[in-house]
Amino acid sequence: MGAVNEQSANLYATKMAEQGYVTLSLDLPFWGSSEGQPRNAVSPDIYAESLSAAVEFLGSQAFVDRARIDAIGVCGSGSFVISAAKIDPRLKAIATVSMYDMGAASRHAVQQSQTLEERRKIIAEAAEQRQMEFNGGTIRYTGGTVLELAEDTHPIQREFYDFYRTSRGQSTPPGASVQTTTKPTLSSDVKFMNFYPFSDIETISPRPLLFITGDSAHFREVGEDAYQRAAEPKKLHIVPGAGHVDLYDRVALIPWDALNAFFGKHRAAASA
């Protein structure tokens, strides 16, 4: 969520292409090189729509078999690809990595640390910000990865900082004066509070689902919860020694063999 394809998406696309797949990575609408105003806007429905648009683009290529289009969603995009798959049967097999439920994260924060009163305060502030912007006020950005570390910076924020704000994975969008990846607009961010990607996840069956998470990932329970809710065929793959952000780019930790085996098994079953 809020990343650009020069980060994890291109790495996954490249590594899967090395195993013989045709791959496509994309920036979500309003982010990176994709179109849409205001920049960094949150719109879960449009995010899912962009994945269906990607299916259509791939399906228009003469060298692509339309019946064999699959998807990988990393972090927040894991919840978006689940949302898309529920209403787009052209996505034949779906894998998620270090999946974030952006709805639950917005409503409750990580480890259920946000109270209902705090949530109401955020909603009220966003509504007021919408009115200010309608009246010509300046767009404000919220949340996301901090731009600087302090003594009291939370360990989870430090984990994200180590990727998004260092040479490891930082990216400054064209025309931007600061690193705005992962930082959505305040007025739109509350739309995640109406986002329930795992509702009806069982209806994706009989298309297969793979949930990959690190054994020490701070949001590991999201993948485990989705796995429990999903119908067969499904698989939960726990990566030993991996945290949440490790699976963004730590090539030696990302289970490429598991991804290849998952999609390969689906292809073999579909051809039988």
Chain centroid to Cα 121, Å, comes to 26
Q: Residue 159's domain spans which residues? A: 8-271
pLDDT tens digit sequence for 81-118: 999 999 999 999 999 999 999 999 999 998 788 999 99
Does 121 have pLDDT greater than 80? Answer: yes
| Domain assignment of residue 262, yes or no | yes
Residue 175 is predicted with a pLDDT of 64
pLDDT single digits (tens) 49-75: 999 999 999 999 999 999 999 999 999
Token pair of 36 as six digits: 């849409």
Strands (E) located in the chain: 71-74, 94-97, 209-214, 234-239
For the chain, give the mean pLDDT: 94
pLDDT at position 172: 75
Report CA-CA distances (Å) from 152 to 10, 110, 181, 217, 263. 33, 17, 22, 21, 43
CATH number of the domain at 196, please: 3.40.50.1820
Higher pLDDT, 193 or 172: 193
Average pLDDT over residues 29-43: 94
Burial of 131 (0-12, 13-18, 19+ CB in 10 A): exposed
Q: What is the pLDDT of residue 83?
A: 98
Q: Which helix (H) or strand (E) holds 166?
A: none
Q: How many domains does the chain have?
A: 1
Predicted confidence (pLDDT) at residue 272 exceeds the cutoff of 70: no
Q: Residue 170 domain-assigned?
A: yes
Q: Is residue 70 part of a domain?
A: yes
Q: Indicate whether 156 pLDDT > 70.
A: yes
Please report the pLDDT score of residue 53 as a whole number.
Answer: 97
**pLDDT at 162 (0 to 100):** 96
Give the pair of three-digit tokens for residue 216.
């020490």
pLDDT value for 112: 86
In a domain, 125, yes or no: yes
**Phi/psi of residue 42, nearest 5 degrees:** -100, 125
CA-to-CA distance for 163 and 7, rounded, in angstroms?
9
In a domain, 2, yes or no: no
Mean pLDDT (whole number) for 38-58: 96
* Edge-to-edge strand ranges of the sheet holding 209-214: 71-74, 94-97, 209-214, 234-239
pLDDT at 94: 98
For residue 1, being part of any structural domain is answered with no
pLDDT at 110: 81
Proportion of the chain above pLDDT 70, given as a percent:
96
- Say how many C-beta atoms besides its own lie within 10 A of residue 142's C-beta: 18
pLDDT exceeds cutoff 60 at 177: no
- Mean pLDDT over 4-21 rounds to 95
